[in-house]
A and B are shown apart, each in its own frame.
Chain A
């Protein structure tokens, strides 16, 4: 841990369990008492201290698509959203399917220092779905990859998926599956139903997700492997996962903030900011996903932050890229979707946004937040604030947020990563200072 990082004193923060306390950070970890030479004091009256948020599903786009996002800009977007760690998906160019590429992404993250960047390794070479990538080499590299995913593509071949589950198990990792039957979703543009028929947009049927999840949980059980299901989007998927968990299958699942708040009705104006994969679903699905997150059937929230340049969205719906940016807005959106309704408390938020995703991704240091001696990764959140979300709230490179113009609750006031601040007074600490703090580690 960073021995040179300055000490920080947080006064009057409310912990997820509702108790109010002062927090002391020294040398990158939580300290039992104030250090004698405290340099920074933060008044946290009325603020909630949450353990550093962990995003198991981020697209940082570097290398290869730097016009959309870079490790630096994506890290900054994460920090302003309260995150201290992100898992960077493998669909870069070159693909993160070798030790060299994952180590490069990992070290870029360390260099910039806003968040811990953990690369996700591709399951199949080049995401082509034909043969396994060098999973062992990535697992044993300096990046110590533990999450493997072809996200964006489904590992649709059943035999290849079986092999992937078995082989990844060998290295203590998990396969994060993008569940989408490719044949059932050829050319798909939005959720299949009455609305897709009316709008003349090719349908993405719920069964294309549910059938893959059903197959995969059975495969995972058969080979005794761990499975993680990415961005669950339908009520039917929830039922399948609930059934699998009851059978004892080692499966975890994530839901995105947008699938907890937005519905397919937003496609009516053909505004491609609302085009995402899997697509926005019906109101019934949104309600089922909220309930599943509350009862633990869905384990975590993950953003699927997917930056795209303006030209990828400034076009007809069919021609637009799938995806939304989500790091900056994630906590506020989940706050609006399930906290305001009373379905989740702040302790649940700490679980679904921090300890559980860290556990799934085998990320150390998040199991005992705020306890003396543990790594100081946390964020201070003002739950009473409201704001009309705008491009001014975005810190990544891309502006494809579905929430622009929408009123959202809450605001991140400060984020502390490994004991040094990345966000203070609601604004990012400058890159040079953060990089310097990070290099002291």
Chain B
């Protein structure tokens, strides 16, 4: 694996291999010495054009557990024009000898541009690009689902037959896109629930079913309900009337959680708007995997960095 830009490019075997490696990485976290020498001498740059402390720290911990050197490069608020700074920054990092660049950017496709540009010859990891994809989030979600379903016997398994319902701002969600591709590659059946204003105008070619009715979706008893964050700026752009109406129609409130089968799990990529898309009880219930998702994020990112940075360039 040269880069990780999109889960659409990831095959089923590659995905299972990544999840399996993440299982080994998770074991390391339980040891007294939580560190492996694997990437000693490698340099990983966290290139964040957009703030995200959670994702950056997760990648930082992952790289450090593998003994890589980590450089955090926050390019936000740079005085250079935005366009210039991607190219200039990439060339600067290339000159410094970065082996991998973990990039978060507000523009969809920026990691792909970086990978194809020839400005830098490092492995590129997409840590969230605009409204496009967030592949490591989807991998950690798949990992979390697999662990909940199969426990310690999860190695080698996919998600065949698992039903997953994604609820909320599909249109702007990079988490949703990455999950749609990855989960279906792994054999899960994905359905989307959102108001029409927060769905793409066409989902032709997407391997999903689409509906507007969360109650019907809940009553169908999905194995997984994944709630997506509603960004504050959407509320001012007439995508829906107001927070109260959104919450009533598409929020996972206590009553809806109670109607879910006991074995169903509730996921959220965080940070959560408690009381808007998810109630506090739902977020803190035994069915919620919110904290596991955070812990699993480190294991998945270790697996991704290992796959990108070990091995001769094939």
| Stretch from A157-165, A198-206, A370-378 that touches the partner | A198-206
Task: Give every chain B residue within 8 A of A269 (Cβ-Cβ).
Answer: 112, 116
Q: Is B109 in contact with A312, judged by CB distance below 8 angstroms?
A: no
Q: Is B105 in contact with A316, judged by CB distance below 8 angstroms?
A: yes
B235 at interface, CB cutoff 8 A: no
Q: Which of A309-326 contact B (CB under 8 A)?
A: 311-312, 314-320
B201 at interface, CB cutoff 8 A: yes
Closest chain B CB from A268 CB (angstroms):
9
Contact of A198 among B82, B116, B130, B177 (CB under 8 A): B177
In whole angstroms, what is the CA distance A270 to B130 when docked?
Answer: 13
B86 at interface, CB cutoff 8 A: yes
Contact of B113 among A199, A312, A315 (CB under 8 A): A315
Contact of A270 among B8, B108, B200, B201 (CB under 8 A): B108
Task: Give every chain B residue within 8 A of A205 (Cβ-Cβ).
Answer: 201
Q: Which of A198-231 contact B (CB under 8 A)?
A: 198-203, 205
Q: Is A315 in contact with B82, judged by CB distance below 8 angstroms?
A: yes
In whole angstroms, what is the CA distance A316 to B84 when docked?
Answer: 10
In whole angstroms, what is the CA distance A311 to B84 when docked?
Answer: 6
Task: Give every chain B residue within 8 A of A314 (Cβ-Cβ).
Answer: 83, 87, 117
B107 at interface, CB cutoff 8 A: yes
Closest chain B CB from A208 CB (angstroms):
12
Q: Is A315 in contact with B84, judged by CB distance below 8 angstroms?
A: yes
Q: Is B109 in contact with A316, judged by CB distance below 8 angstroms?
A: yes
Q: Is A317 in contact with B205, judged by CB distance below 8 angstroms?
A: no
A197 at interface, CB cutoff 8 A: yes
Task: Give every chain A residue within 8 A of B204 (Cβ-Cβ).
Answer: 193-194
Task: Give every chain A residue within 8 A of B117 (Cβ-Cβ).
Answer: 314
Q: Is A318 in contact with B87, judged by CB distance below 8 angstroms?
A: no
Q: Is B205 in contact with A201, judged by CB distance below 8 angstroms?
A: no
Q: Is B205 in contact with A198, judged by CB distance below 8 angstroms?
A: yes
In whole angstroms, what is the CA distance A203 to B133 when docked?
Answer: 16
A196 at interface, CB cutoff 8 A: yes
In whole angstroms, what is the CA distance A205 to B202 when docked?
Answer: 11
Q: Known interface pairs A200-B129, A200-B130, A200-B174. Does A318 touch B108 (Cβ–Cβ under 8 Å)?
A: yes
Task: Give every chain B residue within 8 A of A316 (Cβ-Cβ).
Answer: 82-83, 86, 105, 107-110, 113
B239 at interface, CB cutoff 8 A: no
Q: Is A200 in contact with B177, judged by CB distance below 8 angstroms?
A: yes
A271 at interface, CB cutoff 8 A: yes
In whole angstroms, what is the CA distance A270 to B8 when docked?
Answer: 15
Contact of B106 among A194, A272, A318, A320 (CB under 8 A): A318
In whole angstroms, what is the CA distance A317 to B83 when docked?
Answer: 9
Task: Give every chain A residue within 8 A of B174 (Cβ-Cβ).
Answer: 200
In whole angstroms, what is the CA distance A64 to B107 when docked?
Answer: 28
Q: Is A198 in contact with B206, judged by CB distance below 8 angstroms?
A: yes
Q: Which of A132-146 contact B (CB under 8 A)?
A: none
A192 at interface, CB cutoff 8 A: yes
Contact of B132 among A199, A203, A320 (CB under 8 A): A199
Q: Known interface pairs A205-B201, A312-B83, A317-B113. Does A194 touch B206 (Cβ–Cβ under 8 Å)?
A: yes
Task: Give every chain B residue within 8 A of A200 (Cβ-Cβ).
Answer: 108-109, 129-133, 174, 177
B28 at interface, CB cutoff 8 A: no
B171 at interface, CB cutoff 8 A: yes
Q: Is B84 in contact with A197, judged by CB distance below 8 angstroms?
A: no
Q: Is A197 in contact with B203, judged by CB distance below 8 angstroms?
A: yes
In whole angstroms, what is the CA distance A200 to B109 when docked?
Answer: 8
Closest chain A CB from B299 CB (angstroms):
26
In whole angstroms, what is the CA distance A318 to B111 when docked?
Answer: 12
In whole angstroms, what is the CA distance A271 to B115 when docked?
Answer: 11
Q: Known pairs A272-B113, A316-B107; list 9 more (Cβ under 8 Å).
A: A189-B108, A193-B204, A197-B203, A200-B131, A201-B109, A269-B116, A270-B112, A316-B105, A317-B107
A-B contact pairs, 9 of them (CB 8 A): A194-B206, A199-B108, A200-B131, A203-B200, A271-B116, A318-B108, A318-B109, A319-B83, A320-B83
